[in-house]
Amino acid sequence: MVRVLFICVHNVGRSQMAEGFFNQRAAERGIAARAWSAGTHAVGKLNPVVVQAMEEVGVSIADRKPKQIMQWDVNFADRVITMHCGVDPQRCPVNLGVRAEDWGLDDPAGKPIEEVRRIRDQVSAKVDALLDEIAALGPDARKAFRR
């Protein structure tokens, strides 16, 4: 099973969207993969506009809570993805390692629903591309990601 970790600062928006899309679509496609998300400084509760935008496309994340990243999360993951959230390696509570990649997504915080939908759709497309990559690698996906 391929294990993917999505990281942002507060774990209230982009990383939660990515986790929700990834797990739902991996299951629908029969791909042996699982994702979770965490924040470098997790606080509060999920962005309600993000929750609404996800509900509009049939992915419920309303019951999720922000989670603080631990080194275990990074060590356990086969792929580590940040959301372009300005993770400062000097202030990050964990070592992200060389397997981390950044998706360069805008922060939905404080944005109107139209902007959050645009960000949601970008997250959706990136998750689909990642799942396509995992499916194409087949049983060697974990090994390829661990390099």
**Residues with catalytic function:** 8, 85, 92
Q: How far apart are CA 52 and CA 58, in angstroms?
A: 10
Q: Computed over its alpha carbons, how large is the radius of gyration of the chain?
A: 14
78, 2 contact by CB (below 8 A) = yes
**Residue 93: is it exposed, middle or buried by C-beta count within 10 angstroms (0-12/13-18/19+)?**
exposed
Instruction: Give the single-character DSSP code of 68.
Output: B
Q: How far apart are CA 47 and CA 51, in angstroms?
A: 6
Give the CA distances from residue 102 to residues 14, 19, 119, in Å, rounded to whole numbers and listed in that order: 12, 15, 15
CA angle 118, 124, 129 (to 5 degrees): 130
